[in-house]
Amino acid sequence: MMLLFEIRAKITELYQRHDLIVKTALKFLLMFLSFRKLSKVIGYNTGLSGFGVILALSVFSAVLPPSLMVFVAAAYIFLQLITASVLIAVTVVLIFLVMYLFFLRFAPKEGVTIIATPLLCSMGFPYVVPLFIGMFGNIFSIVPAACGAVVFYLLRAVKNNIITIDELKAAKDQALALYMKVLDDLLKNPHMYIVMAIFAVVIVVVVLLRAIKMDYAFEISLGVGTGVMILSYIILGVFMYDMNLSIGKMVFGSLISMGIVFVCLFFYRVLNYSAAEHVQFEDERYYYYVTAIPKITAKSPRRTIRKVMSRSEDTPGDEDEESAIEAMNSMLANKNNPYRQELTAGDAKRLRKDLASNPEPDYDEDEDDEVVITGPKSRGGRKKAPFDSIISKLRGIGALLPAKKKRTEKPVRPMDIDEEEEEEDVNEQLYFAEDSEDGEEDEKLR
Strand partners for 372: 293
Tell me, rounded to whole angstroms, the distance of Cα 51 from its chain centroid: 34
Min dist. Cβ of residue 84 to other proteins (A): 18
Which positions touch other proteins (CB under 8 A)? 91, 94-95, 97-98, 101-102, 105-106, 176, 179-180, 183, 309-310, 427-428, 430-433, 435, 437, 439, 441-442, 445
What does the DSSP assignment read for 379-396?
Answer: TTTTTTHHHHHHHHHHHH
Min dist. Cβ of residue 186 to other proteins (A): 11
Min dist. Cβ of residue 97 to other proteins (A): 6
- C-alpha R_g of the chain: 29
Min dist. Cβ of residue 105 to other proteins (A): 6
Min dist. Cβ of residue 184 to other proteins (A): 9
Query: In the β-sheet with 287-294, what is the strand arrangement from edge to edge?
Result: 277-282, 287-294, 371-373
Min dist. Cβ of residue 429 to other proteins (A): 11
**Amino acid, res. 6:** E
3-state secondary structure of 293: strand
Q: Which residue number, 165 or 433, has a Cβ lying nearer to other proteins?
A: 433
Q: Which residue number, 314 or 442, has a Cβ lying nearer to other proteins?
A: 442
Question: Going by C-beta distance under 8 Å and a sequence separation of 6 or more, which residues neighbour residue 422?
Answer: none
Residue 280's nearest CA partner among 371, 362, 387 is: 387
Min dist. Cβ of residue 160 to other proteins (A): 18
Q: Which residue number, 4 or 97, has a Cβ lying nearer to other proteins?
A: 97
Q: Which residue number, 303 or 306, has a Cβ lying nearer to other proteins?
A: 306
Letter string b/e over residues 33-45, b meaning 16 or more CB atoms within 10 A of that residue's CB: bbbbbbbebbbbb
Residue 182's nearest CA partner among 151, 152, 158 is: 158
**CA–CA dist 163, 159 (Å, integer):** 7
Q: Which residue number, 140 or 268, has a Cβ lying nearer to other proteins?
A: 140
Q: Which residue number, 186 or 385, has a Cβ lying nearer to other proteins?
A: 186
- Helices 142-161 and 86-102 pack at an angle, to 10 degrees, of 170
Q: Which residue number, 322 or 428, has a Cβ lying nearer to other proteins?
A: 428
Min dist. Cβ of residue 157 to other proteins (A): 14
Min dist. Cβ of residue 123 to other proteins (A): 30
Min dist. Cβ of residue 176 to other proteins (A): 7
Q: What is the dihedral of CA 317, 321, 322, 323, to 10 degrees?
A: 100
**CA–CA dist 384, 276 (Å, integer):** 19
Q: Which residue number, 3 or 20, has a Cβ lying nearer to other proteins?
A: 20
Q: Which residue number, 140 or 216, has a Cβ lying nearer to other proteins?
A: 140
Q: Which residue number, 244 or 427, has a Cβ lying nearer to other proteins?
A: 427
Min dist. Cβ of residue 430 to other proteins (A): 7
Instruction: Calculate the alpha carbon distances from 90 to 87, 124, 175, 183 in Å.
Output: 5, 28, 12, 13
Burial class, 357, CB count within 10 angstroms (exposed 0-12 / middle 13-18 / buried 19+): exposed
Q: Which residue number, 105 or 213, has a Cβ lying nearer to other proteins?
A: 105
**Amino acid, res. 307:** K
Contact 139, 172 (CB under 8 A): no
**Amino acid, res. 293:** I
